[in-house]
Structure formats: C-alpha cells, structure tokens
Amino acid sequence: MTPRIGAKAAALAPSARRDEEQPWRKWYKTAAWQELRLSVLVRDMFTCRMESCGRFVVDTSQLVADHKIRHQGDHELFWDEGNLQTLCKHCHDSLKQREERSGFRAW
C-alpha cells in the first residue's frame, strides 16, 4: 500500500520539476515584472488586443501581459515591452494557447 503523504508529494512533483527546469518562471514574481505588466496594460488601455475580441476589461486580474513571441527563457525577449500585448484571460487561455500548441496564428 502506498503511503498517502508520498502519493500527495508525487502529485506535486511535476510542477516543481517544471519550475526547476524553467528557472525564468521566477521572473513573473518580481516587482520589475509587475511594473512592466501594468505599463503594458495602461499602454493598451486595458483592452484585449486579440482581433476577434477587443474587450475593455476593468478588472486587471482578468488581463494578461502576453508575450507575442515566446521567450523560452530569453532574457531580452522576456523584458522587451514591444514583445508584450494585453490579452483578456479568456483569449490568452484559449485562443493564444491553441495557437502556440498548433504552431500557427489562429487570429
């Protein structure tokens, strides 16, 4: 019989491994990222840049500062404000993710 604690620890292991394999994920937790994110949201007037959407969103927790070109840990691409756009959470989590998985632009 597998111990319960061991089973729970094993369930958490993939995300912990992902963070170890992708140390750049810590950049999202920095004050510098929060400042850059807010700058992009203001620049884009809190409006989703997805052509099919264009929704104005007051609740900034429902907006994402999205990298147009995936940075994959490239420091310059990550911090490049020109590589960032505002997307509503719905468009980012559905359309943009589908686009990145398929390898072509869906919009």
Whether residue 22 lies inside any domain: the answer is no
Whether residue 53 lies inside any domain: the answer is yes
Q: Which residue, 27, 31, 46, 35, is CA-closest to 81?
A: 35
Whether residue 35 lies inside any domain: the answer is yes
Whether residue 17 lies inside any domain: the answer is no
Whether residue 69 lies inside any domain: the answer is yes
Q: Is the pLDDT of residue 107 over 50?
A: no
What DSSP string describes 3-62? -HHHHHHHHHHHHHHHHHH-GGGGGGGSHHHHHHHHHHHHHTTTB---TTT--B-S-GGG
Whether residue 85 lies inside any domain: the answer is yes
Q: Is the pLDDT of residue 32 over 60?
A: yes
Q: Are 50 and 95 in contact (CB under 8 A)?
A: yes
If one compares 89 and 1, the residue with the highest pLDDT of the two is 89
Distance of CA 19 to the CA centre of its chain: 14
Q: pLDDT-based confidence at 30, cuts 50/70/90?
A: very high
| Structural domain range at position 92 | 31-102
Q: Is the pLDDT of residue 34 over 60?
A: yes
Whether residue 41 lies inside any domain: the answer is yes
Q: Is the pLDDT of residue 7 over 60?
A: no
If one compares 22 and 103, the residue with the highest pLDDT of the two is 22
If one compares 55 and 9, the residue with the highest pLDDT of the two is 55
pLDDT in tens, 63-97: 999 999 989 899 999 999 999 999 999 999 998 88
